[in-house]
Amino acid sequence: MTDQRTDVLISEVGPRDGLQSIGTIMPLAAKKAWIAAEAAAGVTEIEVGSFVPPKLLPQLADTAEVVAFAKTIPGLTVAVLVPNARGAEAAIAAGADKITLPLSVSETHSLANLRRTHAQVIDEARTIAALIAALPADRRPHFEGSLSTAFGCTLEGAIPDAQIARLAESLMTAGCDEVGLSDTTGFADPSAVRRLIRLVRGVAGDAALTGIHLHNTRGLGLANVLAALDCGLTTFDASLGGLGGCPFAPGASGNIVTEDLAFMLEAMGLRTGIDLDRLTAVRTIVADALPGEPLYGFLPDAGLPLGFRPATSLAA
């Protein structure tokens, strides 16, 4: 959710989506330094990890410790991904502010990613919603159901609109606070973004869809952001240096680069609350901890235009 000081929320997903896709395991100290530096740059929501079995994603085995650290940063929404109710229990125990359960609209991908059918994932969503409802109101994390592979699947191809709509409605009925659209495989284009936003809002309601997770696999990431902005979405996932992709969707590389997204939005007059120079400087922490891992982005190479005044500074 955006606040009165910002127009758009950039949710940093690099510590989860970025790190799960590479072989190198980032040391805990480096993760803490990364998260602290991004928060200091003005990023107010960070997906810091995932509560999955360490044997599946050893890169994220320290998520509980990362959450505990991130919770000490004032004003930071600490988000995590969970594959099931057991993961949600761990996330709740750790104190996460936001929990995302991915539901692949491609059942083939769901079986590869979560080893669960659509019906089983919906059952997990009901259980998680019940766990959250049983908590005191001030301890309840926000619960998002993410419609993964919504724009197409590398294993199954295009997914029928009727199936996407049915699953979106099922997640809301199961007790999710909202649903999110996820271009897990980088298949999206601006026309498809507009169409699916209309489709999902038609069954879930406008308030139930405010965010989208886009990849830049085929160079359309920022164009797709513009399409989503035109439809009224206000939350956009991005990854520092463009790290990331889904390890269970072959060829699904390339998250949107946080630095480039923040620059585009600020140049358009939309306040993100982020200091672009401080954000770009965070790359040094990530590069030092992941030697040899490529980092992407145009802003870090080109720098800010002469005389550039970001929207956030103008509003300060």
Q: How far is CA 171 from CA 104, 113, 209, in A?
A: 12, 18, 12
Say if residue 2's pLDDT is above 80.
no
The b-or-e profile of 276-308 (16+ CB within 10 A means b, else e) is: beebbebbebbeebbeebebbbebbeeeeeeee
Please report the pLDDT score of residue 154 as a whole number.
84
Domains of the chain: 9-315 (3.20.20.70)
**Residues belonging to the active site:** 246
First and final C-alpha spacing in the chain:
20
pLDDT band at 155 (very low <50, low <70, confident <90, very high): confident
What is the overall mean pLDDT for the chain? 93
Please report the pLDDT score of residue 252 as a whole number.
45
* Coil, strand or helix at 158: coil
Q: How far apart (Å, rounded) are the C-alpha atoms in residues 207 and 174? A: 16
Segment 246-264, tens digit of pLDDT: 544 444 458 999 999 999 9
DSSP annotation of 42 reads T
Average pLDDT over residues 37-54: 97
Q: How far apart (Å, rounded) are the C-alpha atoms in residues 10 and 16? A: 15
Segment 162-184, tens digit of pLDDT: 999 999 999 999 999 999 999 98
Please report the pLDDT score of residue 206 as a whole number.
96
Concatenate the DSSP letters of all residues of 62-121 into one string: THHHHHHHHTTSTT-EEEEE-SSHHHHHHHHHHT-SEEEEEEESSHHHHHHHTS--HHHH
Please report the pLDDT score of residue 315 as a whole number.
64
DSSP annotation of 215 reads B
Looking at the DSSP assignment, which residues form a beta bridge with residue 200? none
Say if residue 79's pLDDT is above 90.
yes
Q: What are the structure tokens assigned to 12, written together?
A: 């940093």
* Coil, strand or helix at 152: coil
Please report the pLDDT score of residue 250 as a whole number.
47
Say if residue 1's pLDDT is above 60.
no
Question: Taking each helix axis from N to C terminus, what angle separates 85-94 and 63-70, rounded to the nearest 10 degrees?
Answer: 40
Predicted TM-score of the model (pTM): 0.95
Question: Taking each helix axis from N to C terminus, what angle separates 258-267 and 221-230, rounded to the nearest 10 degrees?
Answer: 40
Looking at the DSSP assignment, which residues form a beta bridge with residue 305? none
Q: How far apart (Å, rounded) are the C-alpha atoms in residues 111 and 57? A: 17
Question: What proportion of the chain, given as a percentage, has pLDDT over 70?
Answer: 95
Say if residue 245's pLDDT is above 90.
no
